[in-house]
Amino acid sequence: METWNGASWTEVANINTARASLAGCGTATAALAIAGVTTELVNQVESWDGSSWTETSTDVNTARKFLTGFGTSTAAIAVAGVVDYPASGYEDITESFDGTSWTEVNDLNTSRQTCASSGTQTSGVLFGGESTAPSYVIVGVTNTWDGTSWSIAPVAMSTARYGLHQGAVGTASGSLAIGGQPGTGVVVTTEEWTVSADIETVAFD
């Protein structure tokens, strides 16, 4: 693992369980590493205190990979991913963390994998990915989270793409979608998500 101080990267303490395609959330001094895959899917969650990783006893309920997450180390959301592909396709599972345990809450509107997300436990945004509803298709769909349920926003990404993983930077009202795969290739495309607090409009620029 490496940390960024605004000028350079420094290698610091490694995560306890090597894995790929996991989700993460939090800050440089308080973060979570959620689920992923080793040689098999795992539901392990590790917490970061700014200097080391600790295996927690608060594993997510559903082991999966290619999920996404947002929030803080004590109030987080883990959503979407892959459990058993291609048998059951992608997932719409949403789990909420209260600092002590994970609880399954209202599902995402469409099953997805490798989408991006940002925000807090009570206000989030999720976009892009590959969906299994109604078929395996790359999407630019934008979903918003109000702390209880998901809604489909009226504006989608200009470039539908998957492979975003944690490729979102920002909040529920202002976020960046960076890179990804619209098909067989990869792109450098960056789109900005904005929400006006006054007129409640949304846009990808």
Asked whether residue 6 carries a pLDDT value surpassing 90, the answer given is: no
Asked whether residue 66 carries a pLDDT value surpassing 80, the answer given is: yes
- Mean of pLDDT over the chain: 88
Q: Say how far residue 10 (Cα) sits from the centre of its chain.
A: 24
State how far the Cα of 79 lies from the Cα of 43, in Å rounded to an integer. Answer: 13
What mean pLDDT is predicted for residues 10-24?
92
Structure confidence by residue, pLDDT tens digits, 132-155: 866 789 999 999 999 999 999 999
Q: What is the pLDDT of residue 197?
A: 47
Structure confidence by residue, pLDDT tens digits, 27-36: 889 999 999 9
What mean pLDDT is predicted for residues 94-108?
96
State how far the Cα of 126 lies from the Cα of 139, in Å rounded to an integer. Answer: 12
Q: Residue ranges of the domains in the chain?
A: 2-204
Domain 2-204 = CATH 2.120.10.80: yes
Helix, strand, coil percentages for the chain (3-state, nearest 5)? 0, 45, 55
pTM recorded for the entire structure: 0.90
